[in-house]
Amino acid sequence: MTQITNEGLILACSAIGAGLAMIAGIGPGIGQGHAAGHAASAVGRNPGAKSDITSTMLLGQAVAETTGLYGLAIAIILLFANPLLGKL
C-alpha cells in the first residue's frame, strides 16, 4: 500500500472542493428558468409592457448569475492556481 503525500491530499481535497463549488450553479439555473417563465407569462398577458418586463427580467437574471460565476471562479482557482500548494 502506498502512502498518500501531502501534495496528493491537497490536490484531492481541492478537486472535491471545486466540485462542491460548482453546485452553486444549480440555484441560478433554476431561478433564471423560473424568472424567464414568469416573464413569458407576463408578456402573454400584457404584450404592451414587453420592454419593461424584459429589462426587469434581464436585470434580475444578471444579479442571480453572479452566484454561479463566483462558484466557477472558486473552482478554477482551486483547480489551476491552487493557493494551498504554496503552504507546504
pLDDT per residue over 24-59, tens digit each? Answer: 889 888 988 998 999 999 999 999 999 999 999 999
| Helix residue spans in the chain (DSSP H) | 6-22, 26-45, 50-76
pTM greater than 0.95: no
According to the model, what pLDDT value does residue 39 have?
92
User: Which of 13, 27, 25 minimizes the C-alpha distance to 79?
Assistant: 13
Mean of the pLDDT values across residues 11-18? 92
What residue segments make up the domains of the chain, in order of their start? Answer: 11-87
DSSP 46: -
Higher pLDDT, 73 or 82: 73
Tell me: domain 11-87, CATH 1.20.20.10, correct? yes
- Per DSSP, the three-state class of 80 is helix
Residue 60 grid cell: 434580475
- Cβ distance 43 to 53 under 8 Å? yes
- Per DSSP, the three-state class of 4 is coil
